[in-house]
Chains A and B, each alone.
Chain A
């Protein structure tokens, strides 16, 4: 059994006959179909790309939120200060260092033995906030904005304790 069996008696295949009769129409149809298919493909690709981008952004946001929740990337770098990062993450927020002078500060702590200095200043505005700037022996500088309403009175966190002291300085 071979190719011979599917051929007609005059030796031409059924497929070839069909192709020959409607060659021009078939080409046009297939061209139109191809164009249509390509447009659809393009649209679906764009939609897929947008969806993928949104998914990536979503993942980044949720990762950032999770990291903030556990206190990562904010107060983790402070040696000897990370006491209860998760509990205090609401009150502390890392901000840009302003290079405030001692004279401009409301409260100063010089901790030679621990290798750091802290400067605190009460912020103007309705909400009680304190700006705290930390400078370390290895040259690092960090700054935080502390929301006093969220700081527990008995906090063990040094930055928060210092912020509380800064608030009391002005009373």
Chain B
């Protein structure tokens, strides 16, 4: 059992951390969210059908935990003291080289309904079908959010506002 958990953590930790960080924009909260996701997975008694389902479940849960933390009254009254919001992109360690930190920074400033589809599509390389499954949305909705989110990224980069 322990081996199974350690395999699971090894397999998904980095990816879940990046997704959590793209939402939380600070290391400590991102780590908390990922840990909470793993705990919920271990306690969850629903049968996991396959590896893809397992991965989608973990991503979806991580995103929900992040959104819950962000919405909580406690979080809204606090300010992270050790990291600046503007350098968030530098703290996402992608397994490949990204030459355009500016665009990633702009993506991280997007509202959550654009940010997650764009981040998952471009930076984690998920397909529209997979993102629709993870976020419980229709494929058409994801396509629309990708298009509108891209327009928002342009606005941020040209006008400096989301």
Footprint of B on A, CB under 8 Å?
A: 101-103, 105, 108, 110, 112-113, 115, 117, 119, 135, 137-139, 141
Contacts and interface: CB of A to CB of B under 8 A. Distances in A.
Contact of B103 (A102, A103, A105, A112): A112
A112 B97 contact: no
Do most interface residues of chain B lie in helix, strand or loop, or is the interface mixed?
A: helix
B143 to A, nearest CB: 6
Contact of A101 (B103, B118, B125, B154): B125
Given A101-B125, A102-B125, A139-B128, A115 B147 contact: yes
A113 B103 CA distance: 8
A43 to B, nearest CB: 56
Nearest to B118: A112
A101 B121 CA distance: 12
Contacts of A119: 125
9 contacts: A101-B125, A108-B96, A110-B103, A117-B125, A119-B125, A135-B127, A137-B121, A137-B147, A139-B139
B123 A103 contact: no
Interface residues of B, number: 24
B113 to A, nearest CB: 16
B107 interface: yes
B107 A112 contact: yes
